[in-house]
Structure 1
Amino acid sequence: MTKTVTHEEAAIETMRASVIRKAIGPTILLGSGTYFDFEDPESSEITIEDIAYGLAFEGRCAGQCFSRLLQRRVFYSVAQHCVLMSLMVPPELQLQALMHEVGEAVCGDMTAPLKSLNPSFKAIEKRCEAAILKRFGITMTDRVALKQADVRMLATERRDLLLWRGEKWSLTDIEPYDFHISPWSPEQAAEAFLARYAELTKNPSPQSREVL
């Protein structure tokens, strides 16, 4: 059965299309002033500041975080997740852990359950991630160890930042880390990310400060 498109729907679709820059492909404008092309991420320019601030203003868990320590809803960023995870892995994996979510700096943080229903989105995100990692000269040498650390981070976040009541999850037997998470503001998370990147690469950034 063919769906009839109403005049109102057509007008809305036209307006939606008008905000997508397609001169060189579907792109977004980054904070550095450069465009990131989802159809050609390999040729797109992106800075470490774009990544740090993109992840710092991106909330984990669809923004549905509740701090057990503070007893209120809080913002907890992907950037903070990455910084903390980088502190939990062996030295040879620390930079990889810090940068393991770079695709989300341009694609956003789609929750894992929703992502599992959208394989095409996952493929785009993985391509963007690979392109950005290559631009920064980073090779993921032990994805299994990184995923294990990522899952332990999720277990820690579930304990500290979600209203989990003990119902069974697939990661029920995963032990959380022994530190407790105190959420940072987006600005703090971005600065901590830049500082950690500078520390691990020995390449100081003018915008980086000491890790909190």
Structure 2
Amino acid sequence: MSTIQPIHQYQDGLFNTASGKLINIWNPQPDTITISDIANALSKICRFGGHINEFYSVAQHSILVAAMCENDIKMEGLMHDASEAFVGDVIKPLKNIIGKSYDEVEDRFMQVIVEKFELNMASMHRVKEYDKAALEIEHRHLQLNDNKPWHMAMIAYKLPFRVLPPAEARVEFLLAFKQYASPALYAKIVREDSAVVGSI
């Protein structure tokens, strides 16, 4: 379904995406989840609950994680936080308090995303070490104001850090998706979501 509903007519658990998809938070469906909506939302969601010295998006975080990942899990690295496009980026202390309810909703979205974008769930677990490394990089740069490049044991080159504005982060996320997706998957996604081509 892709009809924008007036806010006052919302039913519990339903919300609109920027593209007009109607999402059921309790029962997300593959045909309502698009890579263009994911890129758009993640590019406008700030990491660390906004408690940083400049805006830094979940989209750019995802790009960073994917860049650090081994070649066979780069797609999983890029998409590891894709569910946050629909449930938000909740800071870890609050997520721990909310607990099971949030996890259940996030897991529903992640299951649909894994299936739709042909991700490997076992590989998603391998991404965690790179996610933690990215968190440390971001903390040092965005909260401790350490602007030096970082040399990390897991990668063989220095990784420069430049904060991207939302519009640029969205495009870079979509370009990374095109780079890491198989040609067959990318062709299928573009057929279903023509906004991808017009966005990059």
Task: Verify the 8 A CA contact 2:80 2:124 in the aligned structure 1.
Answer: no
Q: 1:141 to 1:208 in 2, by over 3 A?
A: farther
Q: Pick one of 169, 172, 186 that aligns with 1:189.
A: 169
Task: Verify the 8 A CA contact 1:152 1:175 in the aligned structure 2.
Answer: no
* 1:51 aligns to 2:42 (yes or no): no
For the residues of structure 2 that align with 1:175 and 1:118, how far apart are their CA atoms? 34
RMSD, matched Cα: 2.4
After superposition, where does 1:54-203 map in structure 2 within 5 Å?
Answer: 54-66=41-53, 74-119=54-99, 120-163=101-144, 178-201=158-181, 202=183, 203=186
Secondary structure at the aligned position of 2:23 is classed as: strand
Number of equivalent positions:
175
- Cα deviation, residue 179, structure 1: 2.0
- Name the one with the larger helix percent: 2
Secondary structure at the aligned position of 1:28 is classed as: strand
After superposition, where does 1:5-44 map in structure 2 within 5 Å?
Answer: 19=8, 21-22=10-11, 26-42=13-29
The amino acid that maps onto 1:59 is: C
Deviation by residue 1:116-144 (Cα, 9 ceiling, x = unmatched) = 00011122112112112212222222344
For the residues of structure 2 that align with 1:19 and 1:54, how far apart are their CA atoms? 22
Partner of 1:5: none
What is the TM-score of this pair, normalised by structure 2? 0.79
* 1:206 aligns to 2:176 (yes or no): no
What is the TM-score of this pair, normalised by structure 1? 0.75
Task: Verify the 8 A CA contact 2:27 2:108 in the aligned structure 1.
Answer: no
- Cα deviation, residue 44, structure 1: 5.4
Task: Verify the 8 A CA contact 2:43 2:166 in the aligned structure 1.
Answer: yes
Q: List alignment gaps of at least 5 residues for structure 1.
A: 1-17, 67-73, 166-173
Q: List alignment gaps of at least 5 residues for structure 2.
A: 1-6, 147-151, 191-195
Secondary structure at the aligned position of 1:53 is classed as: helix
For the residues of structure 2 that align with 1:103 and 1:78, how far apart are their CA atoms? 11
Partner of 2:4: none
- Cα deviation, residue 113, structure 1: 0.8
Deviation by residue 1:24-43 (Cα, 9 ceiling, x = unmatched) = x5111011211010111135
Q: 1:176 to 1:88 in 2, by over 3 A?
A: closer
Q: How many percent of aligned residue pairs carry the same amino acid?
A: 28
Larger CA Rg, structure 1 vs 2: 1
Higher relative contact order (CA 8 A, sep 6+): 2
